[in-house]
Copies of this chain bind each other. A is one copy, B any other.
Amino acid sequence: DRKTVRQEDSKTATKTKPSGGDLDLAAVYVSDAQYNRNIFFDTSPQAVRLYLLYNHWVPQVLLYVFILVDLCLAIFEDPAVVPLPVWATMLVELICLSAFTTRLVHYAKVIPRDKFWKDPKNICIIVIVLLSLLDMMIYGALKATDHNAVRWSRVLRPLLLVNVTEGRQLRRAFRSIRNALPQIFLVFLLFIFSVLMFSLMALKLFVKRDLKTTEGEPYFTHYLDIVFDLYVLVTTANSPDVMMPAYNANFFFAIFFFLYILVNTYIFMSVFLAVVYNSYKKYLKEEVRQLVRAKRHKMARAFAVLQERREEGAEPVVTRDCWNQLVRLVQSDISTAHRELLWSVSDDKNQGYIGKLAFVQLADLLNIQVITMKSRPHPLQTLCPALYLSPPSRLLCRVVQHRAFVIAFDLIILVNAVFIGLDEEDPVIGNSEWVFLALYMLEILLKLYAFEPRAFFSRHNFWNWFDTIIVISALIATIVNTAVESSLHYSPREILDIVFVLRVLRLIRVVDSIKRFRTIINTLIRIGPTILTFGQLIVVIYYIFAMVGMELFKGKVRYVESSDPQQTDCGNPLLKDSAFANRNYCKNNFNDVVSSFILLMELTVVNQCSGFTAVTHKSARLFFVLFHIVVVIIIINIFVAFVLEAFSVEYSVEKGDLQTSLEKKINELELAVAQEQQEENLVDSMETSDNDLGSGQSAKSKPALMFKIASKRYRTVDGLLQRMFEADLSPDDFAAEEDADTPNFSNPIFSSA
């Protein structure tokens, strides 16, 4: 590929102006660099147009809709929450499969043929589609002839989430897991060895003592049962029950369990986390380093396409005109002022053209969120200046902007919390709700009076949006509730539930007023997007286990509405008088996909499966142990590792150079929000206080347009890490990285540590 760039290099050097097709191509490179896409598309104008279509948000959203529909089919398929005929679900599935195929064909047209067939994720999608079709045919044929059939291909559905082009983050999460596996496996072997040794010791110590459990069953007499019981003790699910019989016999046996818990629950579980964390950290750095190189490489290609030579032998450059066209193509909604600002940062010496090094920064510059703040007068000021600028109106504005106003409303919120806690059937309490609603509405209206409405509802004022939506929803829900109540003389629980939830949510705002909390919350919000990736990961794993679990356990445990919940047997005589039935766990079953997901969530927290081994066979424990290993030992640890790393990076990384230069430029141009406000405002992007920016009286002394950088810190851990590694790479290093989407690092091995 390097050669191609060189060729284009020499080719474009003779041209004077880049054509429209060249601009399109460069725009695609820049946008790929901006969003870290690593797709090796054909550079022919036709392929570029197809590629632009491929990256358009409509087909991407459609794809996810089809994946969602495909996954949700489990709700309607046997065992179903809402049963639908087989032909209906099959028809929908066929539509979904054809949508995936269409998307794949589109992809095949965008990238070179050999690249397409080399990419494992394409092969995966083809295999999934083909196997699904095969399974549907077999299932249809067996059902038609009244045979028993299993829809086994449903296990493959969540893998689509991983293998579509947009599942980059998810693939990366899976890659980190794969990289941590060799080490986890070593520690796991040692851990299992330790469990086996302790079990053998327990067998020898207790088998001849004729101890009984509380249920009157023999205690610790079979080796494999002991192994399982001690494994569950690691999850803490059966503590202290598992040790009580031994402890009742002799208190020295508590030492045995103490050592077991120390070694296996505390030390080994910490070592698992340590191994996962270290491998995650190492791999993350390697991966981000590759991403940074790939980004540079793409920007270098874009430059090669657009470059011109001012004179023979001079360094190639990109002109301002060309750059402007490019930026408009890449980000059509960018304001002229913002674009000018970016250009003045790139073209530091005001030459009218920029070199390669300055050009390469473009993708990063576009990624820095700059908030353009137009300091407009308040609409009321334009409508009726005499009234709005009159002394009482000014006083009102100053009152609303005062710190005491915020504190007063925080106190109102606290009083409201107490009132919510009281019984709402008391008429005083019931009516107080109207008072609070009125107060909150008044607060919003006052703020809208004091602040410029467009600034108040600008995109970054998370809490203003949150407040307004919650208060207005609460108002609507309360009105609907009162209307329904006065017509039916009874208020339906569903509406009341919504009203209550909205009332409580309103209280959350109090956190925002305390500055020290705000920083923690903002860190959490910054972690947010990646938590979504983990959410997808969990959905993939849960879905697979739910499908398998449903085939293994469906209908074995049933929830039967009964007058005496104590006497139920969960619809299965095997569970009569079992702890599972007595504790009323009957609804924890695999009878449909929703119940399965809820059960799997419970299993993630505490791994209890006695009911299922009772109704099937002891070997069913394998399913639950496997679930524990995959979800708790691997995925939860990766999640914790991610949170740890996110906080570590927050603590250790300084602001990026590029951002500083942008800020410097903003300050230089005297377009910055005043310094004291910066201190207050720039720390976090989700601010309520727009201070007096939007208010009329102070606007005159300031320029009409101001900028601020949305956040001092990068929005994601990735962004931060990219910035870190950019410093490591020499600015002239534009080495091509082939196929950076699927890098293949050597796995870190424990012994190399």
Residues of chain A touching chain B, judged by Cβ–Cβ distance below 8 Å, are 186-187, 189-190, 193, 197, 200-201, 203-205, 208-209, 212, 214, 216, 223, 236, 239-241, 243-245, 247-248, 251, 254, 258, 261, 265-267, 270-271, 273-275, 277-278, 281-282, 417, 420-421, 493, 497, 500-501, 503-504, 507-508, 511, 515-517, 519-521, 523-524, 531, 559, 565-566, 582-585, 587-588, 594-595, 598, 601-602, 605-606, 608, 636, 639-640, 643-644, 646-648, 650-651, 750-751, 753
Contacts and interface: CB of A to CB of B under 8 A. Distances in A.
Contacts of A517: 186, 189-190
8 contacts: A200-B507, A244-B585, A248-B565, A248-B584, A273-B643, A278-B648, A520-B750, A651-B753
Contacts of A520: 186-187, 190, 271, 750
A502 to B, nearest CB: 10
Contact of A582 (B214, B608, B647): B214
Contacts of A511: 190, 193
Contact of A500 (B187, B205, B648): B205
A364 to B, nearest CB: 23
B265 A646 contact: no
A406 B187 CA distance: 23
B516 A750 contact: yes
Given A197-B507, A244-B587, A598-B247, A421 B203 contact: yes
A500 B605 contact: no
Contacts of A500: 201, 204-205
Contacts of A277: 644, 647-648
A640 B517 CA distance: 25
Contacts of A583: 214, 241, 244
Nearest to A564: B216
Contacts of A244: 583-585, 587-588
Contacts of A595: 251
A271 B531 CA distance: 13
Contacts of A208: 493
Nearest to A683: B751
- Lowest 3 CB-CB distances: which A-B pairs, in order? A204-B500, A274-B647, A270-B643
Contacts of A531: 267
Contacts of A205: 497, 500-501
A320 to B, nearest CB: 40
A189 B521 CA distance: 12
Contacts of A565: 212, 214, 248
A214 B566 contact: yes
Nearest to A647: B274
Count chain B CB atoms within 10 A of each CB in A240, A421, A519 and give the residue with the most: A240
Contacts of A584: 214, 244-245, 248
Contact of A261 (B201, B507, B601): B601
Contacts of A566: 214, 216
Given A187-B520, A511-B190, A524-B267, A594 B251 contact: yes
A504 B251 contact: no
A249 B223 CA distance: 40
Contacts of A587: 244, 247-248, 251
Nearest to A425: B208
Q: How many copies does the complex hold?
A: 2
Given A214-B566, A519-B753, A271 B501 contact: no
A278 B247 contact: no
A559 B523 CA distance: 50
Given A236-B236, A239-B602, A241-B583, A639 B504 contact: no
Nearest to A501: B201
Contacts of A200: 417, 420-421, 504, 507
A273 B645 CA distance: 11
Contacts of A640: 270, 273
Given A200-B420, A240-B585, A278-B648, 17 more contacts: A190-B511, A197-B504, A197-B507, A200-B507, A201-B504, A204-B501, A212-B565, A244-B587, A248-B587, A266-B636, A271-B520, A274-B643, A274-B644, A281-B648, A282-B651, A519-B750, A644-B644
Contacts of A507: 197, 200
Nearest to A198: B504
Count chain B CB atoms within 10 A of each CB in A189, A247, A646 and give the residue with the most: A247
A179 to B, nearest CB: 14
Count chain B CB atoms within 10 A of each CB in A274, A497, A504, A648 and give the residue with the most: A274
Contacts of A201: 500-501, 504
Nearest to A223: B421
B214 A275 contact: no
A644 B270 contact: yes
Contact of A274 (B197, B247, B646): B646
Contacts of A251: 587, 594-595, 598
A565 to B, nearest CB: 6
A533 to B, nearest CB: 14
B644 A605 contact: no
A258 B601 contact: yes
A643 B266 CA distance: 10
Contact of A605 (B236, B585, B643, B646): B236
A606 B588 CA distance: 22
Nearest to A420: B200
A273 B648 CA distance: 11
Contacts of A420: 200, 204
Contact of A598 (B254, B266, B650): B254
A271 B214 contact: no
Count chain B CB atoms within 10 A of each CB in A186, A651, A750 and give the residue with the most: A651
A517 B639 CA distance: 26
A417 B193 CA distance: 12
A751 B519 contact: yes
Count chain B CB atoms within 10 A of each CB in A204, A216, A565, A566 and give the residue with the most: A204
Given A190-B521, A254-B598, A240 B282 contact: no
A238 B673 CA distance: 52
Nearest to A244: B584
A191 to B, nearest CB: 10
Given A203-B421, A417-B200, A583-B244, A639 B275 contact: no
B270 A239 contact: no
Contacts of A203: 421
A583 B213 CA distance: 9
A234 to B, nearest CB: 10
A342 to B, nearest CB: 29
A602 to B, nearest CB: 4
A481 B35 CA distance: 74
A325 to B, nearest CB: 41
Given A214-B584, A584-B248, A605-B265, A516 B751 contact: yes
Nearest to A268: B524
A515 B644 contact: no
Contacts of A524: 267, 271
